[in-house]
Structure 1
Amino acid sequence: MGEQAGPPSKQVQAVKQVQELIKDGDDAVIVGIFSNEQDSAYELYTEACNTLREDFTFRHSFSSDVAKLLKASPGQIVIVQPEKFRSKYEPASHTLTVKDSTSASEMQEFFQKHSIPLVGHRKPSNDAKRYSKRPMVVVYYGVDFSFDYKKATQFWRSKVLEVAKDFPEYTFAIADEEDYADELKSLGLSESGEEVNAGIMAEGGKKFAMEPDDFDSEVLRDFVVAFKKGKLKPIIKSQPVPKSNKGPVKVVVGKTFDEIVMDTQKDVLIEFYAPWCGHCKKMEPDYLSLGKKYKKEKNLVIAKMDATANDIPNDNYKVEGFPTIYLAPANSKQSPVKFEGGDRTVEGLSNFLEKHATKIQQKDEL
């Protein structure tokens, strides 16, 4: 919590400090220009910065030279992208004039709206704070802004810019293929043989991969247009679909999740397990007995899924530990009921089903 000590914005006095940030920086440069510390706009700015101090580096200046450099007047906040992220498709800076009526939330919205350039550099250190919005188009290659590789990095980035300018509703980013080796693998692109690959991270945890091809802006544009029109199939990590699945506990894999769990005709109790999990192994006999107990219920499915070998293609079914059990009621698949706090026994799970299931025929007899 040491970061929290002191004011949320750092004072800059020299023009050179700001010039260096713009020339060599990696993140948006945010500077508030004020006449002095008593300036009411400065107080409002400080208040707005305080909530977001963990997410941004805020600066302020009372210097007329800094104001001149940023083409700003006292009472204005300027956001400038570092030189390497500039393009002819976007303004070099954004300015907000702080009035007495300007709220902290208006300023915070301004910071967040202009915090990333049209095509920025997504990396592990800024991923959570800058690149959480979806859909996001990511182009992967050897991204390196050091002197020797800058030209090649910008060459490919310029191809992405040509497409990004026409899709303001999506976030676009470049990412180093080594930083995101696992993500590339999950997209099935780590062995593509191409120098440049692309994927789309969409809402609900869905992922889409661009077919490997010689990369240029038209290939990327076609991919984004196909996504926009709903013509792409998401990439889902999945074990093979079981040939026979007639046992008392149905096996669900990534490819059959929607078909089995999201079936609106049936209530589905789904256990997400890991093969190495001791609690899961201990529960297995009870879970099998539960499946047998409700075998005659045509509209109730008892199911399980190895969550280490399959993607769960729905963000409403969050798994943070094993086993995790949800009931997906027939009438509200997007609001599953999580099994929490009860005994993972036939009796405990039966009680949970009796309480939450909507399709059990013989509740009283069971």
Structure 2
Amino acid sequence: MRITSKVTLALAALLPALTNVVASDVLDLAQDTFKGEVYDQDLALVEFFAPWCGHCKNLAPHYEEAATELVKKGIKLAKVDCTEHAELCQEYGVSGYPTLKVFRNGTPTDYTGPRKADGIISYMIKQSLPAVSDVTSESHAEFIKSDKVVLVAYGDASHPIPSAYSQYANTARDSYLFGQFTESSLPSIPESPSLPAIVLYKSFDEGYSIFPAGEITNLDSSALADFVKTNSVPLLDEISPENFGTYAEQGLPIAYLFVDPAEVDTREKLVEEIKPIAREHKGKVNFVYIDAVKFIDHGKSLNLPGDNWPAFVIQDLAAQTKYPLAPSEKVSGKSVKAFLDKFVAGEIQPSIKSAPIPETQDQPVYKLVADDWENLFGATEKDVFAEFFAPWCGHCQRLAPIWDTLAEKYASNSNIVIAQMDATENDIPPPLPSRCKVSPPSNSLVEFVEQHRKSSGGEAAAGGDADEEIFDDEDAPEHDEL
């Protein structure tokens, strides 16, 4: 009786794991099964992973969920354990985990989509369709709701769809769904525009945007791209690691409202106050709100104090500049509007964070800070070789003694400065000097200095090894941010 109970308990413990194995729609592939499962498929997605990898563990439930949805559409999702099948992973150039690759009849390309279930599903559905799908009366209602952003061009024999539409679709198919409707009997179209017409359907805000009729006859693909850029993100939405890439690709400044997630009423009130401002600056600035507690480090990187919420800041990714609203100003619709108007007019200077200027520079390595930038780089007769580091970075920690040795080699030459800046304590004032060169990490540091220096003076002193290869360690600590 006791034995039976133990067996029953053991089976009960194993049952969830057995159920998961049976229920999984992700194929486990090995060297002898890979080609048979993947090479004859029009489309498949393969994850190369390691069981110990934290990112792989985070991806796993999303990958499973996506597989269950995509198998219904005939799209296979598979995985390869690189600790068990190292040769197979090496064959496909896997150098980190997880690595995802899209296979078309055995030919791989890198997967560049999101890593959440809905993002994976959306990306792979786009991959399965032609750049522009033919939409019919029967499929129209379903097609325009099949993704967060869907574009449909409408035309007929007398009003053909401009060729620029297909040209743009070929370049943006990974990001959006494109369709064309050419039947004589049109479906219900918002605002009933004249043909040809292009409508962007979206699952947020007002639900659709119509391309200006006056610009469609001589449609330019760049104008269409600008239209999509302006209308393909919500007017004011929450930003997170999952959708940050979408905003970054837009190329527009991002206006952040940092709010404490516990202060729901405050957030909702401010969002409603700021929405009209976001609408006024649509196409010039993207507006978002963000969890100030969870992403406090991101706030600090944007030069917010990190202890006073709500807060407001604009980040211009293209120019690598940031513009925080002064902590002394209360965040409100009125203060945000005044700040935005000045920002768009170019009347606000970027905030540049700097550590204090050292009182002395008595070490071989010059300690550079933002407030001392012009003093160092303004001396055009000098050659400056600068390292920008983070104290938590494992590679930086291993480079430190080598960088010291390099500085000692040139200590007697006043025209060559070996410097370093703590990039967590200082911003790099834009723009970088036009004469700057970037050193590939694997190059000899001394050789790089000698190759690119413009100043006169003796060569590096002998002694010490400043050329040690230090970038081959895969175990360096990670540091994630938004």
Both structures adopt the same fold (TM-score exceeding 0.5):
yes
Partners of 1:18 and 1:103 lie apart in 2 by 28
Question: Residues 93-121 of structure 1: CA distance to partner in whole angstroms, max 9, x if unpaired?
Answer: 3345754x64545543443344346x332
1:16-45, CA deviations, whole angstroms, 9 ceiling, x for partnerless residues?
937995xxx995552222348x98528763
Alignment of 1:54-133 (within 5 A): 54-62=174-182, 64=185, 66-79=187-200, 84=205, 93-96=210-213, 98-99=216-217, 102=219, 104-116=221-233, 119-121=235-237, 123-124=239-240, 125-131=242-248, 132-133=250-251
Going from structure 1 to structure 2, the CA distance change for 1:170 and 1:20 (only over 3 Å counts) comes to: closer
1:140 correspondence with 2:276 = no
CA contact (8 A) 1:70 1:78 kept: no
C-alpha distance in structure 1 between counterparts of 2:139 and 2:255, whole Å: 36
- 2:381, 2:371 → 1: CA distance? 19
Contact 1:72 1:78 in 2 (8 A): no
Number of the residue aligned with 1:207:
322
Letter in 1 for 2:141: Q
1:268, CA displacement in angstroms? Answer: 0.8
The answer as to whether partners of 2:321 and 2:350 remain within 8 angstroms in 1 is: no
Aligned to 2:439: 339
The answer to whether the 8 Å contact 1:81/1:93 transfers is no
Paired with 1:26 and 1:176, the residues of 2 have a C-alpha distance of 24
Kindly provide the amino acid, as one letter, of the partner of residue 454 in structure 2: T
**What TM-score do the two structures reach when normalised by structure 1?**
0.69
The one of 146, 149, 153 aligned to 1:32: 153
Matched, 1:298 2:422: no
Quote how far apart the aligned CAs of 1:220 are: 1.1
Pairing 1:360–2:474 present: no
SS at match of 1:204: coil
Asked whether the equivalents of residues 15 and 65 of structure 1 are also in contact (C-alpha less than 8 Å), the reply is: no
Amino acid at match of 1:5: S
1:234 corresponds to which of 340, 346, 351 = 351
1:328 alignment counterpart: none
Structure 1 gaps, min length 5: 318-332
Deviation (angstroms), 1:15: 9.7
AA aligned to 2:299 is: L
Give the match for residue 159 of structure 1.
273
From 8, 29, 44, the counterpart of 2:131 = 8
Conserved in 2, the CA contact under 8 Å of 1:206 and 1:313?
no
Q: 1:43-54, aligned counterparts within 5 Å?
A: 45-54=165-174
SS of corresponding position for 2:287 = strand
Counterparts of 1:146-185 in structure 2, within 5 Å, are 155-164=269-278, 167=281, 170-177=284-291, 180-185=295-300
Asked which structure has the greater RCO (Cα within 8 Å, sep 6+), the reply is 1
Task: Tell me: CA distance 1:102–1:162, structure 2 relative to 1, closer, same or farther (3 Å).
Answer: closer
Q: 1:198 aligns with which of 303, 312, 317?
A: 312
What is the CA distance between 1:192 and its match in structure 2?
0.7
Q: Which has the larger radius of gyration?
A: 2
Unaligned runs of 5+ in 2: 1-101, 103-123, 463-482
Cα distance, 1:184–1:365 mapped onto 2, change above 3 Å = closer
In structure 2, the residue matched to 1:224 is: 340
1:233 shift after superposition: 4.8
The Cα RMSD (Å) is 4.3
CA 1:251–1:47 in structure 2 vs 1: closer, same or farther (change >3 Å)? Answer: same
2:147 and 2:258 mapped to 1: Cα distance?
18
- Quickly say closer, same or farther: Cα 1:4–1:241, change in 2 above 3 A: same
Q: 2:141 aligns with which of 6, 14, 17?
A: 17
TM-score between both structures, scaled by the size of structure 2: 0.55
Amino acid at match of 2:407: G
Q: Tell me, in whole angstroms, the C-alpha distance in 2 between the residues paired with 1:216 and 1:354.
A: 55
Taking a change above 3 Å as real, the CA distance of residues 94 and 234 of structure 1, as seen in their structure-2 partners, is same
Residue in 2 that maps onto 1:322: none
Structure 2 CA distance for aligned equivalents of residues 360 and 338 of structure 1? 21
What's the % identity of the aligned pairs? 19
Question: How many Å separate the matches in 1 of 2:299 and 2:323?
Answer: 11
Partner of 2:361: 245
Aligned length, in residue pairs: 328
Contact 1:28 1:80 in 2 (8 A): yes
> What residue identity is the alignment partner of 2:359?
K
Is contact 2:409-2:460 (8 Å) kept? no
The CA distance in 1 between the partners of 2:359 and 2:441, in whole Å, is: 35
| Post-superposition offset of 1:270 | 0.8
Q: What amino acid is the match of 1:129? A: T
Q: In the alignment, residue 93 of structure 1 is paired with which amino acid?
A: I
- What CA distance in whole angstroms lies between the structure 2 residues aligned with 1:106 and 1:225? 25
Letter in 2 for 1:136: I
Distance 2:430 2:349 in 1: 19
Whole-Å Cα distance in 2 between the matches of residues 166 and 54 of structure 1?
29
Deviation for aligned residue 1:248: 1.4
Q: Match for 1:45: what amino acid?
A: Y
Q: Distance in 2 between matches of 1:142 and 1:242?
A: 36
Q: Structure 1 residues 103 and 286 mapped into 2: Cα distance closer, same or farther (>3 Å)? A: closer
Over 3 Å counting, the alpha-carbon distance change for 1:13 and 1:265 in structure 2 is farther
